[in-house]
Structures are given as C-alpha cells and as structure tokens.
Amino acid sequence: MIYTITLNPAIDMTIYLDKLQKGMVNRSNSWLTDAGGKGVNVSKFIKVLGGESVAMGFIGNENKDWFFEYLKNMGIAVDFISVEGVTRTNIKIVETTEKIYTDINQSGFKVSDKDIDLLFEKLESLANSENIFVISGSLPSGASEDLYGQLIRLLKRKGATVIFDADSKALARGILEMPDVIKPNIYEFNSIFNASEDDIPSIVRAAKRVIKSGVKLILVSMGERGSIFVTENSSMIAPAISVNVKSTTGAGDAMVAALAFGLSQQMSDSDMFKLAVACATAKVLEEGVKPPKREEIDKFFSTIKLERLVG
Ligand code: TA6
C-alpha cells in the first residue's frame, strides 16, 4: 500500500483574474477550491493513475469535514490525526492575461508534542517492507526542523520505501537519512548540491554522488528545460512538452504520484520517468489543483522521447 503523509495540508483556493491590481479591489472572474497539500495531491493523482493510497498526516479539527468529503468523493481512503485549529487555505492567483501564477501559502495550524507522538505510533504500526510512504510538503508550526529526518529514519528502519519531496531547508535535513527517492526542482537541488544550474552534466554528476551515498532515485524537475532522472544504472533527460498551461500548481506532486505508482507496479526506470513527465504535463492543462485526465496522461506518455545522459 502507498501512504501519503501530509503534515501541513491545505484548502487550495485558486482565483482567476485578468490582471491583479495591487492595492485595489479586484473582481474575480471565477474561483475553485480543492483539498490540497502536497501529499494529498499525490493521493489524488495516484487515483487517476489507477492506483490506491491512504492519505494521512495532520488535519485541522475545525474544518476537516469538507476536506474528508472531498477525498471521499474521489474514493481516497484517509487516516489523518485531528489537531487543534483549522487547516490553512492556500491562495493561488492566476492572472489570465499575462499567465502569471502567484501562490500565497499560509503557515497553518500548530501541532503539539502529543500530536507528533500519535504520528510516530501510527507509523510504527504501519511501516513494513511492503509499503511505500510519500512524505511531501511543508512542516507545520510546532514541528521541529528535524521531524522529517526522524520520520524517514523510522520508516527506513522498518524496511519501508520512502519518497521525500520538501523544499530546500526541510529537504536538506531529511536527505541526511537517505530516503529512497527525492524529487527536487532545480533550485532546491542546486541550493543543496551546488550543481551548476545550466550545466546538465554537472547536475548528473551531483545526482550520481547522492545516489552513491544511498538515495536510489532522483528526479530533478527543471520547468521549461525538462527534467532529469538519475538512478545507479540510468541517467536520462526528458524535454518539457509545451502545452497551454492552465495552472502549474501540483505539477511536482503529479511527478511524485507517478514515481510512487511506478514503484508500486515495478515499472522500468524509463516507463516510470515517462509517466512522471506525462502526469505533470497533463496536470498543468487542468484548472486549480484538479487531477490530470488519464487520457491526457496516456497521450503524452506515448509521445515522450527520453535521451540517455553520460554524467
Ligand atoms: O504543489 C501544490 C501544493 O501541493 C498545493 O496544494 C499547495 O497547497 C502547496 O503545494 C502546499 O505546499 P507547502 O510546501 O506549503 O506544503
């Protein structure tokens, strides 16, 4: 079973404007709300791929009903720990004229030591070598910066597979515990591994060094420059596919969902990489944080040409 751990979920409100007029009253053309947060999005996207997962982590007590109803309607099982307070609302402003996307991510509820103890107890009982755990997104207030490292250590000790996707500071701390898979964007990757942003061979060399130290798979997303996939036995690059972008929000989560699903299905490296790129491309065609359409994923999957790299 795949478990997605979202310690800081969010209600994603996407607001569409022709152009944001700062300091003025802006009238929105339309808006959407979705249950979000990185791990929750991974569960949503795994569902579209035909996989199953359990969405877990922390959820704010005061507004969890809407959140659970949304996931129930998508047929996604949940096993969250309820904590004091509300799940945050993250705002995505889409300026349709100039296609500018602005995210405002709030900090969210504050978790207690007791909440964290409950999380450890739950993971102790769930973790084994059959399970894949996706740890994704920001840490909530009240959590130590080393919490991800502690969770990864626990899961690896129990023989579970760990996919870890967090931003630079949390990623730098968590990676010390050698998760099996990481999916940084190029800025996160360079901030930690000092590769040169525009030099593909140096990115591959840096990724190979991380693979040597124990991580099994690194997928570096580079936006319009495509993405790089590195394991012990393969280094590949995929070009970005140009499409009419509706919303970039969740594209990284779509890649993570494809990696988790691909590992659970024992897919080959190249098929898993193609699925990740196809999933992310299909996602940006959708408004808000709506899941990609399966037929779009399949269409892109069949067109992607990977190129082997020498690093
Ligand atoms: O990648 C999109 C997303 O998962 C949105 O759901 C949005 O809520 C945000 O990322 C949350 O990320 P954060 O790093 O704040 O946990």
Residues identified as active-site: 253
Mutational test site, ligand 1, from 45, 71, 90, 290, max ligand atoms within 8 Å of CB: 90
Whether ligand 1 lies within 6 angstroms of the CB of 136 is answered as no
- Asked if 224 and 240 touch (Cβ cutoff 8 Å), the reply is yes
Per-residue pLDDT of the chain (311 residues; tens, 9 = 90+): 999 999 999 999 999 999 999 999 999 979 999 999 999 999 999 999 999 999 999 999 999 999 999 999 999 999 999 999 999 999 999 998 998 889 999 989 999 999 999 999 999 999 999 999 999 999 999 999 999 999 999 999 999 999 999 987 888 889 999 999 999 999 989 888 877 777 899 899 999 999 998 999 999 999 889 999 999 999 999 999 989 888 888 999 999 999 999 999 999 999 999 999 999 999 999 988 889 999 999 999 999 999 999 75
Whether ligand 1 lies within 6 angstroms of the CB of 12 is answered as yes
Strand ranges (E), the chain = 2-6, 10-17, 30-36, 53-60, 77-83, 88-95, 100-104, 132-136, 161-165, 181-182, 217-221, 227-231, 235-238, 307-308
For ligand 1, atom 2: residue with the closest CA: 250
Whether ligand 1 lies within 6 angstroms of the CB of 252 is answered as yes
Q: What are the tokens at 161? A: 């597979």
* Number of domains making up the chain: 1
- The reply to whether 132 falls in a domain is yes
CB count, 10 Å around CB of 296? 18
The Cα–Cα gap between 248 and 244 comes to 11
- CATH number of the domain residue 127 falls in: 3.40.1190.20
Describe the strand order of the beta sheet including 217-221 as a list of residue ranges: 77-83, 53-60, 2-6, 132-136, 161-165, 181-182, 217-221, 227-231, 235-238, 307-308
- CA nearest neighbour of 283 among 257, 259, 247: 247
For ligand 1, atom 8: residue with the closest CA: 37
14 — phi, psi (to 5°)? -100, 125
Whether ligand 1 lies within 6 angstroms of the CB of 140 is answered as no
Residue 185 CA neighbour count, 13 Å, CB half: 13
Give the domain extent around 251. Answer: 2-20+30-308
- The reply to whether 277 falls in a domain is yes
Whether ligand 1 lies within 6 angstroms of the CB of 138 is answered as yes
Taking the centre of ligand 1 as the mean of its atom positions, its distance from the CA of residue 140, in whole angstroms, is 12
- 178 contact partners, CB below 8 Å, separation of at least 6: 152, 156, 213, 214, 215
- Asked if 137 and 8 touch (Cβ cutoff 8 Å), the reply is yes
- The reply to whether 25 falls in a domain is no
pLDDT of 311: 59
Q: What CA dihedral angle connects 196, 201, 202 and 203, to 10 degrees?
A: 80
- The reply to whether 120 falls in a domain is yes
For ligand 1, atom 11: residue with the closest CA: 37
For ligand 1, atom 9: residue with the closest CA: 37
